[in-house]
């Protein structure tokens, strides 16, 4: 289906000098080329996009070369011969040129067998109707929308749907099942019933997709405005169990003697939505995804109540192997999330009781620079449907936050190191490197954090001598 009326709408974007140059070249050479894919989708949705994909019936490399030559400035074109594509950057925007293709895929891999094709062939092989729209760059119909699958209607109706039979599209490239869910999450669209059923049916084909590609899609879900849409869909179509079994295992409610616990999967994705409203820090959002990951392993029914004792520590210890398996980074990001998962119950416990300065100092010491992120996570963790409870927690958290500020201003505990180090302890007490050194070091730290002694070198030194004479075994 073609829409002439769309030309006016795109006028501003189509004023782009690169497109005008391309149009002239096409005219001279009697060729056709189209803007295609994500750029067109985002133009209609008024989203920013930094990449422009151009498909030409013929050689993409040739058109890229000619276009770059005619634009001012010494533009460097990169060629990717294996894929038949060429790319250059002009004024901060990436332009990618590719010849229109007909593709077929083997069952065992995502590597397509590529043949040259028409625009229609190229649109047929794309993942979703919303990603299969083209805009002509030919002079005679410049700006015309070429929309054989009613992608424009699907954008208007907020529907995710494949251009061809979904079984064909997904079997060609199973990553597209993840992409369908990811776009639904990013755009708040629904997945069309037939497409949804096909993902359910073809879900096991995800096994041929690399972990790196899968995590890329998961990152995009986590970054989306309401990540629960993506996670819920992954659960519903059956992909979650295959790609992220630890999160899947949080689902469900068990009832014994009429006593139930909450569904920790639904709770978790609500926490991720809550945190997404307050931060764009993707790692803090991931911390929300993982905060209760230890619950299934810690679950017990004791004295007629459900407990998840030590799920914080269990969760923290589960993370390295999950990160390795899912190809999440095994660096400071892992450490950061481990810290938040390990500490995520502390502010809640604090807010339950009369808050002592010493408890606040300990939290500041343990959380360090992450204390604000920890508070953001804890606030997001409040998902009770009872309004009075939510109000109470928020009020208590506000007190905890204020106390943290006061104590930090006074005692500067964040990133603080005890005033006496191991080496000095060894020298002064004449100790070899041993467990005792750690014991004395911790005792000094605890005495300062608990407010027993003041936070100064002199006080710590005196305390050390006193402590050693009382507690260390002398031979």
Chain contacts with ligand CTP (rule: CB under 6 A): 37-38, 53, 126-127, 131-132, 173, 175-176, 179
CB of 129 to ligand CTP, least distance (A): 10
Of 51 and 254, CB closest to ligand CTP: 51
Contact 155, 131 (CB under 8 A): no
Nearer to ligand CTP, 19 or 248 (CB): 19
Rounded to whole angstroms, the Cα distance separating 398 from 351 reads 9
Separation of alpha carbons 264 and 315, rounded Å? 13
Q: Which one, 42 or 424, has the nearer CB to ligand CTP?
A: 42
Listed in sequence order, the residues at least 6 apart from 332 whose beta carbon sits closer than 8 Å to its beta carbon are none
Residue nearest to ligand CTP (CB): 38
Quick one: 126 or 232, whose CB is closer to ligand CTP?
126
Residue 59, classed as helix, strand or coil, is coil
Quote the least distance from Cβ 53 to ligand CTP, whole Å: 6
**Distance of closest approach, residue 382 Cβ to ligand CTP, in angstroms:** 32
Asked if 170 contacts 198 with a C-beta cutoff of 8 angstroms, the reply is: yes
Listed residue (283, 294, 285, 374) closest to 331, CA to CA: 283
* 89, β-bridge pairs: 94
State in angstroms the smallest separation of the CB of 175 from ligand CTP: 5
Which of 103, 424 has the CB closer to ligand CTP?
A: 103
Rounded least distance, CB 259 to ligand CTP, Å: 45
| Nearest in space to 266 (alpha carbons), one of 284, 242, 243, 240 | 240
Shortest approach of ligand CTP to residue 61 CB, angstroms? 18
Choice between 53 and 312, CB closer to ligand CTP: 53
| Opening angle at CA 309, ends 385 and 230, nearest 5 | 50
User: Residue 294 CB, nearest distance to ligand CTP (Å)?
Assistant: 33
Which value, to the nearest 10 degrees, does the dihedral of the CA atoms of residues 347, 244, 285, 356 take? Answer: 10
Using CA atoms, how far apart are residues 51 and 130, in angstroms rounded to an integer?
16
Q: Of 132 and 318, which has the nearer Cβ to ligand CTP? A: 132
Relative to beta strand 112-116, strand 134-136 is unpaired
DSSP, collapsed to helix, strand or coil, labels residue 104 as strand
Contact yes or no for 63/23 (Cβ under 8 A): no
CB atoms under 10 Å from CB of 219, counted, come to 15
Least Cβ distance, residue 127 to ligand CTP (angstroms): 3
Q: Quick check: 235 and 197 in contact, CB under 8 A?
A: no
Return the bridge partners of 160, or none: 191
Q: Of the two residues 220 and 232, which places its CB atom closer to ligand CTP in the complex?
A: 220
Beta carbon nearer to ligand CTP, 179 or 403? 179
Rank residues 183 and 336 by Cβ distance to ligand CTP and give the closer one.
183
Q: Which helix (H) or strand (E) holds 394?
A: helix 387-411
User: Helices marked H in 224-352 — which ranges?
Assistant: 227-237, 239-243, 245-248, 264-278, 282-290, 295-298, 311-326, 332-343, 346-352
- Minimum Å distance from CB 47 to ligand CTP? 9
Instruction: Compute the least distance from the CB of residue 98 to ligand CTP, in Å.
Output: 9
Phi, psi of 298 (to 5 degrees): -105, -5
Q: Which is nearer to ligand CTP, 132 or 444 (CB)?
A: 132
List the beta bridge partners of residue 88: 95
CB of 275 to ligand CTP, least distance (A): 22
Residue that the structure tokens 């997001």 belong to: 380
């Amino acid at each position: 289906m073609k829409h002439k009326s769309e030309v006016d709408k795109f006028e501003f974007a189509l004023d782009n000098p690169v497109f005008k140059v391309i149009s002239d070249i096409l005219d001279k050479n009697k060729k056709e080329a189209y803007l295609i894919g994500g750029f067109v989708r985002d133009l209609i949705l008024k989203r920013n996009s930094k990449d422009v994909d151009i498909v030409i019936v013929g050689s993409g490399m040739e058109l890229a070369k000619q276009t770059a030559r005619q634009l001012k400035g010494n533009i460097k074109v990169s060629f990717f011969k294996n894929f038949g594509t060429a790319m250059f950057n002009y004024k901060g925007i990436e332009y990618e040129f590719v010849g229109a293709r007909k593709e077929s895929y083997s069952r065992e891999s995502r590597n397509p067998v590529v043949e040259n094709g028409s625009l229609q062939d190229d649109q047929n092989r794309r993942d979703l109707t919303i990603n299969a729209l083209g805009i002509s760059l030919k002079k005679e119909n410049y700006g015309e929308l070429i929309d054989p699958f009613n992608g424009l209607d699907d954008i208007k109706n907020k529907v995710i749907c494949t251009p061809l039979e979904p079984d064909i599209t997904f079997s060609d490239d199973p990553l597209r099942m993840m992409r369908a869910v990811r776009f639904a999450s990013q755009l708040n669209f629904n997945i069309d019933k037939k497409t949804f059923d096909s993902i359910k049916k073809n879900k096991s084909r995800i096994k041929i997709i690399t972990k790196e590609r899968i995590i890329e899609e998961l990152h995009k879900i986590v970054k989306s405005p309401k990540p629960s849409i993506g996670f819920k869909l992954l659960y519903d179509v059956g992909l979650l169990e295959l790609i992220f079994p630890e999160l899947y295992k949080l689902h469900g409610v068990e009832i014994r003697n009429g006593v139930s616990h909450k569904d920790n999967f639904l709770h978790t994705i609500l926490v991720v939505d809550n945190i997404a409203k307050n931060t764009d820090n993707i790692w803090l959002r991931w911390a929300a995804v993982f905060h209760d990951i230890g619950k299934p392993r810690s679950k017990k029914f004791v004295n007629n109540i459900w407990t998840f004792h030590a799920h914080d520590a269990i969760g923290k210890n589960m993370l390295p192997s999950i990160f390795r398996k899912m190809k999440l980074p095994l660096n400071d990001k892992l450490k950061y999330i481990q810290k938040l998962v390990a500490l995520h119950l502390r502010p809640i416990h604090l807010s339950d009781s009369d808050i002592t300065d010493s408890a606040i100092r300990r939290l500041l010491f343990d959380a360090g620079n992450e204390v604000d992120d920890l508070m953001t996570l804890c606030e997001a963790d409040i998902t009770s449907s009872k309004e009075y409870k939510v109000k109470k927690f928020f009020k208590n958290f506000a007190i905890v936050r204020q106390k943290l500020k006061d104590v930090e201003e006074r005692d500067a505990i964040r990133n603080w190191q005890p005033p006496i180090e191991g080496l000095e302890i060894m020298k002064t007490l004449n100790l070899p490197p041993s467990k005792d050194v750690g014991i004395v070091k911790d005792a000094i730290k605890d005495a300062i954090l608990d407010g027993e002694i003041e936070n100064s070198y002199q006080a710590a030194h005196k305390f050390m001598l006193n402590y050693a004479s009382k507690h260390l075994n002398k031979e």
